[in-house]
Structure 1
Amino acid sequence: MGERLSSQGADFRRTEREGVLTVAFTRDAKLNAVSQEMVDALRSAAVDLGDRDDLRALLIRAEGRFFSAGMDIGETMAGRDDTDGRDTRRLRRSYRRLHLLFDELEAIEKPVVVAVQGPCWGVGLELSSSCDFRLATPRATFALPEVPNLGVIPGSGGISRVTRLIGPHWAKWLTMAGEVVDADRALAIGLVHAVHPEDSFDEEVDAFMRKLVDLPGDAVGLAKLAVDTAASVDRGTARDFDRVANTVLLLSEDHKARVRAFEERQHRA
């Protein structure tokens, strides 16, 4: 089955192919600074990934010089009333909508992958940190420049999620000092899973997505839940979760079919 264009806007393109839903940022003129249109496209993709059985994984990628230079500051500031301190409640409500999107990407019981082909800064890194897998090219760099550039913290996961991924040591390097991390260092500190050459990056990403799509969906989804649970609860509770989850999987038809296939292969050998 070929790739099918399912929707397109000025700043993104969405396609579906063999169980993989892809959202690509196409706003190169603005260095893929994240616009409301891009956020809405991701939100729609998250809903469809969660609801549709034919979609097995989500890939977020970009075209052009940057994966993302961060949030579109001009668009963000346009609707803000800086003269009224009482506007903070409305601002927090607007802010929370972005938080809820990243929370949903993290919570969906299907794999979410980000493919970073260039600089990934600010909200681009915050988005990436909410994904399950991060792949990069050697041209990728990672930064959270909110403190030095804007006088605020990266408050959409740049503190909480990035610290969980790489620990406070490197999170302070990125957030407090505003340092830029290249692809090799990102791999070394655990910020990305793999770095692939630019000339084979698309093929490597496609192969990884095909692998994910072919995995048993229920087992992958429960593994995601179990890992995230283990990261936030005590060890005893985590093991209890493991037992409950595996009890469901051990009684599933998918598990039984895979056991039979394994036994048949052993018998033929």
Structure 2
Amino acid sequence: MTFETIQVDHDEGVTTVTLNRPPFNLATPELVEELMTAFDQLEARAETRAVVLRGAGERAFCAGADIGHEKGPAGEGRGLRDAGRALVDRIETYPKPVIAAIRGWCIGGGTGIAWPCDIRIASDTAKFRAGDVYLGIIPSWSVGMVRLVHYLGRNRTLDLLLLGEDISADRALELGIVSRVVPDADFEAEVDRVSKRLASGAPLPIQAIKEAVRAQCREGVDRAALLEEAWASRIFASKDAKEGMSAFLEKRTPTFTGE
């Protein structure tokens, strides 16, 4: 499929999906729809073991919604809200690891795309802002109002959303918004290293861990415990479990097939 607002590139087990509306890669309903389509295609693509999300250029990962595509303020349109919520849920429940590679500005809807990703790597040029209240609106993609307190805790969430100030990459690391910060000169190499490491992991355990962690937040410890046992029964009997343990004993790199 040919995309208009995103670009998809494959490198062995890693697929990079680029928000391709430079310089600010603003979110539109079309962009979100194309991201959803790409996720569907990549889930079915066995060769893809990890997905990297990034923005084109160096100025922004995504600087929010494109107001020009809405009749009112960014995020006011119900269609974009629904699409954004669906995308957040898709990222969070995606069976493969999703890495956000963040350079430059990450604002509003951009945070809604980046923060739910499993691993969030930031260049030291990255800056974040969740300043919706200073536009007279609220975050409406079910991240700030729904998930963020589970990511960061009550106090940090209120500081971030009520003050709406610019957050540096180092401050984002302190808050837990990003997983790591690297100098911009080392950014590409670190994204490549982390994504290839994730792509080399066993697919079923990665899916199991993502599902159980989500359940802890949304459904509670009892549900997570049930999932742990259900997945353990399946995974410990899998070909990949045998391959992983054999490779460890034989001091070689395992080759996982997802079976």
TM-score > 0.5 by shorter chain = yes
Q: What's the CA shift for 1:34?
A: 1.4
Contact 2:29 2:80 in 1 (8 A): no
The structure with the larger Rg is: 1
1:85-164 equivalent positions in 2, closer than 5 A: 91-92=77-78, 95-149=81-135, 151-156=136-141, 157-164=143-150
Q: What's the CA shift for 1:148?
A: 0.3
User: Cα RMSD over matched residues?
Assistant: 2.2
Q: Secondary structure at the match of 1:16?
A: strand
Looking at structure 2, the residues matched to 93 and 18 of structure 1 have their Cα atoms a distance apart, in angstroms, of 35
1:1-269 equivalent positions in 2, closer than 5 A: 7-9=2-4, 11-29=5-23, 31-62=24-55, 63-77=57-71, 91-92=77-78, 95-149=81-135, 151-156=136-141, 157-265=143-251
Q: Secondary structure at the match of 2:250?
A: helix
Deviation by residue 1:153-196 (Cα, 9 ceiling, x = unmatched): 11112222222211121211221221221111111111100001
Question: When the two structures are superposed, what TM-score results if normalisation uses the length of structure 2?
Answer: 0.88
Contact 1:183 1:195 in 2 (8 A): yes
Looking at structure 1, the residues matched to 20 and 226 of structure 2 have their Cα atoms a distance apart, in angstroms, of 44
Looking at structure 2, the residues matched to 259 and 212 of structure 1 have their Cα atoms a distance apart, in angstroms, of 18
Q: Secondary structure at the match of 1:77?
A: coil
Contact 1:216 1:254 in 2 (8 A): yes
Looking at structure 1, the residues matched to 20 and 133 of structure 2 have their Cα atoms a distance apart, in angstroms, of 27
Name the aligned partner's letter for residue 137 of structure 2.
Answer: V
Query: Cα 1:256–1:66, aligned 2, differ >3 Å: closer, same or farther?
Result: same
Deviation by residue 1:42-99 (Cα, 9 ceiling, x = unmatched): 1111111222222111111112312221100111227x9xxxxxxx9xx545521221
Looking at structure 2, the residues matched to 94 and 119 of structure 1 have their Cα atoms a distance apart, in angstroms, of 20
Looking at structure 2, the residues matched to 152 and 203 of structure 1 have their Cα atoms a distance apart, in angstroms, of 38
Alignment size in residue pairs: 249
Deviation by residue 1:187-211 (Cα, 9 ceiling, x = unmatched): 1111100001101100110111110
- Asked which structure has the greater RCO (Cα within 8 Å, sep 6+), the reply is 2
Looking at structure 2, the residues matched to 94 and 138 of structure 1 have their Cα atoms a distance apart, in angstroms, of 30
Q: Which runs of 4+ in 1 moved over 3 A?
A: 91-94
Contact 2:215 2:224 in 1 (8 A): yes
Looking at structure 2, the residues matched to 264 and 67 of structure 1 have their Cα atoms a distance apart, in angstroms, of 42
Identity of aligned residues (%): 30
Q: Secondary structure at the match of 2:95?
A: coil
Looking at structure 2, the residues matched to 146 and 35 of structure 1 have their Cα atoms a distance apart, in angstroms, of 17
Deviation by residue 1:135-155 (Cα, 9 ceiling, x = unmatched): 101111111121102x11111
Structure 2: 5+ residue runs without aligned partners?
253-259
